[in-house]
Structure 1
Amino acid sequence: MSNFRLPAKGSKIFFAGLGGIGMSALAQFINSLGYEVAGSDRDISSPSQAELFAKLAKQGIQHFVQDGSGVSSFAPDLIVFSSALEDDNPDFLAAPNTARMHRSQAIAAAVDQSGLKAIAVAGSCGKTSVTAWIAATMRAMGKAPVMINGGYSPDLESDTHPGNFGDGSDYVIFEADESDGSLVNFTPELSLLLNMGDDHHSKDKLEVMFKTFLDNAKHALVNDELAYLAKDHPSHKSFLSEQADFSLSQVQHNQQGVTFSLNGDFVQTSQWGVHSADNALAVIASLATCGFSLEEILPAMLAFCGVRRRFELKGRVKNVPLYDDYAHNPQKIAACIAAAQAIYNGPVLVFFQPHGYGPLGFMAEALQRELEGVLNPQDKFVFLPVFYAGGTTSFKPTSKEVCESYAQAGLKVDELADRELCSAYLAEQAKDYSCILVVGARDPSIPLWSQSLTDEAS
């Protein structure tokens, strides 16, 4: 049980930053619990967000420009906000006396109020895919889990629902975010820790956060490399290595997707890439820890059809497949490139739009190491301008500065001053590659833009 509480059912709750994929998922969940929900966003008029806001409106969730007018007219009992908002946000200034709650606190309170057992998924890579995969497998087993996710599941998309929330009555499955440290607010039935990267915080800080996240749960499930964080937990299990409770070996690919051996049992999946084998094992281990049998889990896993912007085929450019992926930290980007190399066995062209100046500076050294390990001589990595979402920043380092540093170190990299130059770049060079990747996070316009690069839609 968490220490956070929502106001009484029927109260008005306002989401400042409603257009964020995690915020909109939570807004739908709280709306389903019997609250009157509305919100604002700085990108309220963006064409890339039009479909999201239209579907939210069909659920009765109002949306406003983020200038303070919406919160004034809606007169909420509570404002829910994300870490992306600063203290001088117009909504805060317009309602200085209205109670506020961070998004993670609101998730914790809403999960408690639902009365459902919770599975919280944490880690630097794979959270969204694993969250969606657990939910899809449960549905295929005849269960009805609630899902609150940072990605869109095609099988949950409808005229009224964008796909990042699925209503239900059995479990609630959600992402626990380490980027702002908020994952320590959760007290789930099961805490699942997938891995630990280096795109947000130092190793020491992450270890403290992840240990607290595991300690707060009734059951802890952790990648065996991080098992030391759960060694004092009274109910913990590990996965991945040969020494783990759930071990992975013999990873291969066939026409359906990646396959592997789980403690000697053959596992077929519907997804591609070695990282998908790791994700699948985490799904199996989670559901087994919750009491489901392998006989139930393994066939049901094949129902998972992926998540939007996770190695999503958008179309072709001069007959070369182009994929859009949310990869934005060193490990995710390397995993995406490795998956493309394994599938197409040829040169890969990567366009990367960094999701902020701070994140790019923090991960620059780690990204260089990952690229040195994964790029083949004929591959090319192209930097696009850093995405700026507003707020305080130094505007350093730039993509050009990082690109020049990598080039001096011997990496085959390039930099474009404007992403609109990509079409001309592809017209000249696409034929030299077996696969094209567009990677980056936070910018909601990427899916439509990456689609526009293709001359043959998927």
Structure 2
Amino acid sequence: MKAPIHFVGIGGAGMSGIARILLARGVEVSGSDAKDSRTVLALRAQGARIELGHAASHLGNAQTLVVSSAIKPDNPELVEAKARGITVLHRSQALASLMVGRRAACIAGTHGKTSTTSMLTVALQHCGLDPSFAIGGDLNESGANAHHGSGDVFVAEADESDGSFLVFEPAVAVVTNVEADHLDHHGTVEAYVGVFDSFVQRIEPDGVLIACVDDPGSAALADRAEKLGVRVRRYGADGPDARILSYTPVETGGLAVVEIDGQRVEVRTAVPGSHMAANAIGALLAGLELGAPLDGLLAGLAAFGGVRRRFEFKGVSGGVRLYDDYAHHPTEVAAALTAARPVAGDGRLLVIFQPHLYSRTREFSVQFGEALGLADEVVVLDVYGAREDPMPGVTGAVVADAVTLPEGAVHYEPSFDRVPGLVAGLVKPGDLVLTMGAGDVTMLGPEIIAAL
């Protein structure tokens, strides 16, 4: 793709990464987005022409238009592109074209994709390799979500939410877990599981599936793949290829003892939680399959500083520490709070949770309530609708009502403006506050620190 390319919604996590790589390859890039952001400013600095708002004239001289599933058919730039007969690519198709000629390592799963992709990327870099990568979050090390590397490896987060990862042909595929989600698109649990079966069938003939067998869905997928003749490597507490013998929280990170291919090694992580240790071991197996040395990979994983919005430390004020996390599914919420508990130490754990999507809130309100019950105090905001229209009776209150904590420990607060003051009145020195959700709840962090 050398002709000019235009992105609708260029500031999005997936779109901006592709644009960043194309710019590094010398392609003329333009785009549009609803508002300015740090990402938009960074792309402009790299040479992209970006307009705010959406209009047919923004298309300019583009020969290809890239869209995501979030772009509606009546978008004026999409309508104009079709009228001109310009090639229209889905984001995943554009990403797949960047992988041509490179060994692709694609990380999929309901949870942990971004963290595992990031861990593998940093570990390979630590080994002296220079992989290209496209991740759904910004690495703390570089502040970037994508990079055009000089090496022959391309590491990519593979998004199952709309089935678009079925355009990839990985040499190495990692599946962290398979658990019901995105039913607004897939319709049924069976259809959601089925898309992972189709993904596995896209693995190159001499490729490998790396699966976490601690998760029933991923373990079953591995068994089905093996019957189809796919080579499979399994990791987890019962993983025959990489068996996790123990996990110990260490300050704000952890230490896992792992037996891998008959050799006992220590896997250190600077990010907390046994789920993060499992992600690191999936990345370790992928790195070995790509030919990287074990010692270098272990050193790289130990040095991995995390991803923005994945238990990201935001600051401390009045003896209260504030972290921010992207968790937006009950399993992710439970994992994040379990990881946060030893970090909180003797202090209390207070979570500010923003439900994401009306459909997900409706489907999983009870499970969200159970997961949030792992905190000491909970503030629930209203639903961040994202691409969905409101649904009657579906608000943050249905989650707050389901939280399994004593009366007085759960607060439903639909007003953003009131949250910082509310939190300031609830906490005391030594407590840990965690803002959580996939929406704009992250914006509350600085305001809470100021209120404290």
| TM, length-normalised to structure 2 | 0.89
Cα deviation, residue 59, structure 1: 1.1
- Equivalent residue for 1:381, pick from 375, 378, 383: 378
Is this contact kept in 2: 1:315–1:455, CA < 8 A? no
Cα deviation, residue 454, structure 1: 0.5
- State the SS of the aligned residue for 2:173: strand
Q: Could you say which residue in structure 2 is the equivalent of 1:169?
A: 150
Q: For residues 253 and 149 of structure 1, what CA distance do their matches in structure 2 show?
A: 26
Alignment of 1:85 onto 2:71: yes
Q: For residues 178 and 23 of structure 1, what CA distance do their matches in structure 2 show?
A: 16
Q: Could you say which residue in structure 1 is the equivalent of 2:208?
A: 219
Is this contact kept in 1: 2:320–2:429, CA < 8 A? no
Q: Could you say which residue in structure 2 is the equivalent of 1:430?
A: 427
CA 1:285–1:308 in structure 2 vs 1: closer, same or farther (change >3 Å)? same
Unaligned runs of 5+ residues in structure 2 are: none
CA 1:386–1:456 in structure 2 vs 1: closer, same or farther (change >3 Å)? closer
* Correspondence list, 1:55-454, <5 A: 55-72=42-59, 74-97=60-83, 98-112=86-100, 115-157=101-143, 163-170=144-151, 171-201=153-183, 202-217=188-203, 218-224=207-213, 225=216, 226-229=218-221, 230-232=225-227, 233-255=229-251, 257-263=253-259, 264-345=264-345, 346-372=347-373, 375=374, 379-389=376-386, 392-394=389-391, 397-406=394-403, 412-431=409-428, 434-443=431-440, 446-454=441-449
Q: For residues 33 and 363 of structure 2, what CA distance do their matches in structure 1 show?
A: 27
Is this contact kept in 2: 1:199–1:363, CA < 8 A? no
Q: For residues 70 and 191 of structure 1, what CA distance do their matches in structure 2 show?
A: 40
- State the SS of the aligned residue for 2:316: strand
CA 1:411–1:259 in structure 2 vs 1: closer, same or farther (change >3 Å)? farther
Task: Letter of the 1:102 partner, please give it.
Answer: H
Is this contact kept in 1: 2:133–2:154, CA < 8 A? yes
Q: For residues 389 and 295 of structure 1, what CA distance do their matches in structure 2 show?
A: 42
Q: For residues 118 and 456 of structure 1, what CA distance do their matches in structure 2 show?
A: 46
* Number of equivalenced pairs: 430
Is this contact kept in 1: 2:353–2:381, CA < 8 A? yes
- State the SS of the aligned residue for 2:364: helix
Is this contact kept in 2: 1:68–1:92, CA < 8 A? no
* Correspondence list, 1:10-89, <5 A: 10-42=2-34, 44-45=35-36, 49=37, 51-72=38-59, 74-89=60-75
Q: For residues 148 and 20 of structure 2, what CA distance do their matches in structure 1 show?
A: 9
Deviations 1:163-201 (A, max 9, x none): 111221221111111111112221111111001233323
Q: For residues 368 and 391 of structure 1, what CA distance do their matches in structure 2 show?
A: 22
Q: For residues 255 and 60 of structure 1, what CA distance do their matches in structure 2 show?
A: 42
Deviations 1:46-72 (A, max 9, x none): xxx1x2212101111111123214534
Q: For residues 282 and 387 of structure 2, what CA distance do their matches in structure 1 show?
A: 36
Task: Letter of the 1:10 partner, please give it.
Answer: K
Is this contact kept in 1: 2:369–2:400, CA < 8 A? no
Q: For residues 123 and 287 of structure 1, what CA distance do their matches in structure 2 show?
A: 18
Cα deviation, residue 368, structure 1: 3.1
Q: How much identity, in percent, do the aligned residues show? A: 29
Task: Letter of the 1:110 partner, please give it.
Answer: L
- State the SS of the aligned residue for 1:338: helix
Q: For residues 368 and 402 of structure 2, what CA distance do their matches in structure 1 show?
A: 12
Cα deviation, residue 305, structure 1: 1.2
- State the SS of the aligned residue for 1:261: strand
Q: For residues 436 and 24 of structure 1, what CA distance do their matches in structure 2 show?
A: 30
Task: Letter of the 1:223 partner, please give it.
Answer: C
- State the SS of the aligned residue for 2:445: helix
Cα deviation, residue 93, structure 1: 2.8
Task: Letter of the 1:105 partner, please give it.
Answer: Q
| TM, length-normalised to structure 1 | 0.88
Q: For residues 46 and 146 of structure 2, what CA distance do their matches in structure 1 show?
A: 12
Deviations 1:126-152 (A, max 9, x none): 111111111111111100011111111
Q: For residues 398 and 443 of structure 2, what CA distance do their matches in structure 1 show?
A: 27
- State the SS of the aligned residue for 1:206: helix
Q: For residues 253 and 407 of structure 1, what CA distance do their matches in structure 2 show?
A: 26
Q: Could you say which residue in structure 2 is the equivalent of 1:3?
A: none
CA RMSD of aligned residues (A): 2.3
CA 1:204–1:380 in structure 2 vs 1: closer, same or farther (change >3 Å)? same
CA 1:314–1:203 in structure 2 vs 1: closer, same or farther (change >3 Å)? same
Deviations 1:303-331 (A, max 9, x none): 21111111111112431101011111111
